Amino acid sequence: MMNLSAITLKMVDFYKGNREDIRHFIKVHAFARTIGMAERLDKRTQDTLEVAAIVHDIACPICREKYGDTNGDHQEAESEALLCPFLEEFNLPKEMEERVIFIVTHHHTYVNVEGRDWQILLEADYLVNADESEKYMKGFDGFREKVFKTATGKRLLASMYPEKMK
């Protein structure tokens, strides 16, 4: 059985008191879980999605140190080296660990998206980012049209931002 609580607790510890980062990943996980369950993902895909949602921003602290920002390209480049040792103790099935690493190292890549797990993480992360940062609202129409594919993600977007829907 997947121990998402242990992964969550380790991620909270990893952020060393950065409550903004902690709140962010908790919210992304909640949206990803909700979308995945509503879209009726199979258990393996749901578990993969939830692990990826919990650890998706693992590179943010090192990116702030190294680059002075949390730019998506920087996060994608730095994530794998952090994820391998982080996930090791959880003994995930090899295919699941590889998929989590792939999704996290592509969670700011919005083209050629393959797999419902990756798709849903993009949607969940955008829902939270749009609420937390005005810069994401500037591209709202583009995200709505190009990124959101699931019925549940579209519903959440419309419910959360009725003023932005045309």
Record the pTM.
0.95
CA 34 to chain centre: 13
Decide: 116 and 45 in contact? Cβ < 8 Å. Answer: yes
pLDDT in tens, the chain (166 residues): 469 999 999 999 999 999 999 999 999 999 999 999 999 999 999 999 999 999 999 999 999 999 999 989 999 999 999 999 999 999 999 999 999 999 999 999 999 999 999 999 999 999 999 999 887 878 888 889 999 999 999 999 999 999 988 6
Q: Exposed, middle or buried by CB within 10 Å (0-12, 13-18, 19+), for 36? A: buried
